């Protein structure tokens, strides 16, 4: 499929070859919404899944010679994909969510079904409404990237906005939306964790009043901590804080210098690494249900 055949206005079968433009760039209260249209979409869209949804829209448009009907993209052919979709019905210059797939609910952590776009609290609603209305005015898809606070796990998203009509007379207009996260908070934290010049080990506390810190499960050991503790890059030989203490004492043979000190909720322990002839300070910091070990030499 040629990218130059991506968008064709309903009134003309002519292929549009005008330069791609960014339709909207809005910075509202720290939230950013960016949108693209035209042939640039395929060069900026990262998700193969979103590209496939867009290509499917193009296929339906080329077949009909007009904007796809709701039943064509929201019917049998797309049935397997509806868990990832949201369907919006245009109402004046506003939109109501008439469908939100289970995967979308899980990813965003919110249910939007039956909700007007204008009623959703946040800084991006106005920009989204402007973009969505523009897409239905010229019946051309949009590709957007945005940041959101909806998801506890993801920060930035990309989305394709596909305009549909109820019938050949365009009595009612809809938007079929597919979204994919551009990043993952856990991956971002892991990257920052690994690049830290301080040795760090993160553990999660076990549930139950009878569970001690020793039972906390090791979650992450960053690169610096692996080096200091002499652990293999591909394998963590400790599962709990108890294992970590045993590793420090029996494998690394660090000797505790003095009694632990507690200040501002943090426990500080001094060790002596005789092999490398250096002192190491371990700072143990509880953060909600987690505990972080900082190793400084």
Structure tokens at 173: 């207009």
Alpha helices in 65-183 (DSSP H): 70-73, 102-108, 125-138
Residues 35 and 156 grouped into a single domain? yes
The answer to whether 59 touches 53, Cβ cutoff 8 Å, is no
End position of a domain, from candidates 154, 183, 212: 183
Check which CATH number belongs to the domain holding 214 and give it: 3.30.450
Is residue 146 located within the same domain as residue 213?
A: no
DSSP-derived secondary structure letter, 147 = E
C-alpha distances in Å from residue 281, one per residue of 44, 146, 224, 239: 47, 42, 14, 22
Range of the domain at 239: 186-296
Number of structural domains (the chain) is 2
What pLDDT sits at residue 40? Answer: 77
In degrees, rounded to 5, the angle at the alpha carbon of residue 134 between the alpha carbons of residues 129 and 178 is: 65
Same domain? For 70 and 117 the reply is yes
Residues 159, 246 share a domain? no
Domain match, 171 and 35 both: yes
Distance CA 179, CA 111 (A): 15
Last residue of a domain, one of 142, 162, 183: 183
Show which of 129, 156, 183 is a domain's final residue.
Answer: 183
> Does residue 54 sit in the same domain as residue 168?
yes
Instruction: Please give the pLDDT value at position 69.
Output: 87
pLDDT of residue 51: 92
Hey, what are 57's tokens?
Answer: 């829209």
Q: Is the same domain home to 67 and 92?
A: yes
141 lies in the same domain as 195: no
- Report pLDDT for 149: 61
Contacts of 2 (CB under 8 A, 6+ apart): none
30 secondary structure, DSSP code: T
Comparing C-alpha atoms, which of 198, 264, 257, 258 is closest to residue 229?
198
Q: Are residues 15 and 49 in the same domain?
A: yes
Q: Which long-range contacts (CB under 8 A, 24 or more apart) does 203-211 make?
A: 203/240, 203/241, 203/244, 203/290, 203/291, 203/292, 203/293, 204/289, 204/290, 204/291, 205/286, 205/289, 205/290, 205/291
| CA nearest neighbour of 7 among 72, 62, 63, 84 | 62
CB 73 within 8 A of CB 59: no
pLDDT tens string for the chain (297 positions)?
Answer: 444 344 443 333 333 333 344 433 433 333 468 889 877 788 889 899 999 999 989 988 888 788 888 887 776 555 557 788 999 999 999 999 999 988 878 777 778 899 999 998 777 788 899 999 999 999 999 999 887 766 656 678 899 999 999 888 888 999 999 998 887 666 767 777 888 889 999 888 765 445 567 888 888 888 999 999 999 887 888 888 999 999 999 999 999 998 999 988 899 999 999 888 999 999 999 887 788 999 998
Residue-level pLDDT at 295: 94
């Amino acid at each position: 499929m040629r990218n130059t055949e991506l968008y064709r206005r309903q009134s003309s079968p002519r292929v549009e070859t005008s330069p791609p433009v960014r339709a909207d760039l809005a910075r509202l209260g720290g939230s950013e919404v960016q949108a693209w249209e035209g042939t640039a979409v395929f060069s900026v869209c990262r998700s193969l899944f979103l590209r496939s949804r867009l290509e499917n829209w193009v296929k339906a448009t080329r077949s009909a010679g007009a904007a796809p009907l709701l039943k064509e993209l929201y019917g049998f052919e797309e049935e397997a994909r509806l868990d990832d979709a949201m369907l919006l019905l245009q109402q004046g210059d506003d939109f109501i969510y008439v469908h939100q797939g289970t995967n979308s609910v899980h990813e965003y952590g919110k249910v939007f079904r039956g909700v007007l776009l204008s009623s959703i609290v946040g800084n991006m609603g106005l920009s989204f409404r402007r973009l969505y209305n523009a897409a239905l005015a010229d019946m051309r898809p949009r590709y957007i990237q945005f940041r959101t606070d909806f998801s506890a796990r993801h920060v930035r998203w990309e989305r394709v906005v596909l305009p549909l009509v109820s019938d050949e007379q365009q009595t009612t207009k809809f938007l079929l939306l597919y979204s994919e996260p551009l990043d993952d908070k856990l991956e971002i934290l892991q990257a920052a964790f690994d690049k830290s010049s301080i040795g760090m080990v993160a553990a999660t506390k076990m549930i139950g009043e009878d569970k001690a810190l020793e039972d906390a499960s090791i979650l992450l050991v960053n690169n610096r901590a692996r080096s200091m503790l002499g652990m293999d890059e591909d394998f963590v030989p400790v599962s709990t804080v108890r294992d970590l203490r045993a590793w420090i004492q029996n494998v690394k043979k660090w000797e505790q210098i003095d009694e632990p000190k507690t200040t501002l909720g943090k426990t500080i322990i001094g060790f002596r690494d005789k092999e490398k002839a250096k002192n190491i300070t371990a700072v143990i910091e509880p953060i909600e249900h987690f505990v972080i070990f900082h190793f400084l030499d």
